[in-house]
Amino acid sequence: MEARVITLNPESERLGILCKRLLGLAGGAFASVAPFPATDGRGKTAKAVATDRTGPGFPLIPVASLAIADSHMRAWEAAFDGTNASRAAFFEDDAMVRRADEAGFAERLAGALEESASSADVLMLGCFSSPAMSFLVALSGCARPAWAPRGEAGEYTDAPGVATGFHAYVLSRSGYYAAREKVYGRVVSYLDYEMQKLAAMGDVRLRAARPLLVHQTSTATATERAAESTAAAAREDPQGAAAAFAGGSSSSRSSFPALVSHCLDDLPLGDHVSARYVTNVELFTIFGVAFTPMYIALAAVGFLYTLLFILLAAGRLSDSPRAARALAVKVLAGLYAALALPDVIVYRRWREFLLGGAALLVIPLCVFFASPAQR
């Protein structure tokens, strides 16, 4: 069985390290592990990224979901069209086999492949089985979560009912055909959720390796990434240490606001999923800016701030209620500006800064200045 690592940087040294490591750990399960060039959606609109494979999506669809879907679909076509392959493995470039999982990896992988050969169209080597994660992905597709029936657990796999995350999986030819019929041209969310919906409708059989064989640096907490880096360094593998840490750190740098994301980076929300990752999942796109749960959280903070001001401070801070309201808005705006300063100065995220400020201040501004002017 051939394996492909989907990446925007197929020539990078880190990708070479990852491919060699996966090939070595698999113990003969993979005939080859090679990089596969991903679709680059950075700085593009959904219209520019959409293809016949993905379809146009819906007006506010995250650009990332279309780029990811097109990348994986092209990799599927390369694996199955014009070949006699019955199954193929696919990884994203932030896939990570933890040092603690190396012992027995080949045996557990072989057991999962054998156990799922006749019982699964999609074998998730790494996934998130948390209903909360599935619900978050469902929000981006404007659809209710899709729960597949739980199946009987085996020695190496089970059918968890909810399994999102497409950073490491094995797809069968029958699963590929089902996706071509049901998903191609109809992508409205992230591809893992589209496949989850197929599983819920009974169009594909989905199982997950247990325990998970492959994790993801971009979803891991800072402590987990640092532990992997330290373990690699202790084994005199500095390149492996850099590879273990690189995916998560780059993802952290892309999060907004950077200071808040840095604080959330070591807060786990489920099995191997940091709060930073969850709060920065793209839900929809407006004016080229990806809206995430963080913007919703900013709006919620603005609402709570307004409520507390009305309940505790209105009319007590000053003889002039209007002056008190203006002061409250200035304080909130000042705190936000200080919080987002690195995003403006270091990363030049002006659009994110302005839209985040709008989300935070829209409720206070509307409430504080809706009443008639008073001195």
DSSP for 32-75, written as a single string: EEEEEEPP--TT--HHHH--TTT----TT--HHHHHHHHHHHHH
d(CA 294, CA 261): 9
d(CA 301, CA 74): 42
Say what the pLDDT of residue 5 is.
Answer: 96
d(CA 168, CA 144): 25
Q: How many residues does the chain have?
A: 375
Q: Which residues pair with 193 in a beta bridge?
A: none
Helices 350-368 and 293-308, axial angle in degrees (round to 10): 30
Say what the pLDDT of residue 241 is.
Answer: 47
Number of H helices, E strands in the chain: 15, 11
Q: Residue 209 CA to chain centroid, in angstroms?
A: 20
Q: How far is CA 149 from CA 40, 59, 146, 178, 320, in A?
A: 35, 31, 10, 18, 61
Q: Which residues pair with 89 in a beta bridge?
A: 3, 170
Burial classification of residue 344, based on how many CB atoms lie within 10 Å of its CB (0-12 exposed, 13-18 middle, 19 or more buried): middle
d(CA 91, CA 159): 20
User: Against a cut of 0.75, is the pTM above it?
Assistant: yes
SS (H, E, C) 230-266: HHHHHCCCHHHHHHHHHHHHHHHHCCCCHHHHHHHCC
Degrees, nearest 5: CA angle 300-138-109? 120
pLDDT tens for the chain, 375 residues long, are 999 999 999 888 888 988 999 999 999 999 999 999 999 988 788 888 899 999 987 777 888 889 999 999 999 999 999 999 999 999 999 898 888 888 899 999 999 999 999 889 999 998 876 555 656 555 544 444 455 667 778 899 988 777 778 899 999 999 999 999 999 999 888 888 888 888 888 899 989 998 889 988 877 777 777 776 666 665 545 445 444 444 443 333 457 788 888 788 777 776 667 777 778 878 777 766 777 888 888 889 988 888 877 776 655 555 566 777 777 888 888 888 888 888 888 878 888 888 888 888 888 888 777 655 544
Taking a C-beta distance cutoff of 8 angstroms, is the pair 139, 164 a contact?
A: no
Please give the DSSP secondary-structure letter assigned to residue 228: H
Say what the pLDDT of residue 3 is.
Answer: 97
Single-letter code of the amino acid located at 242: A
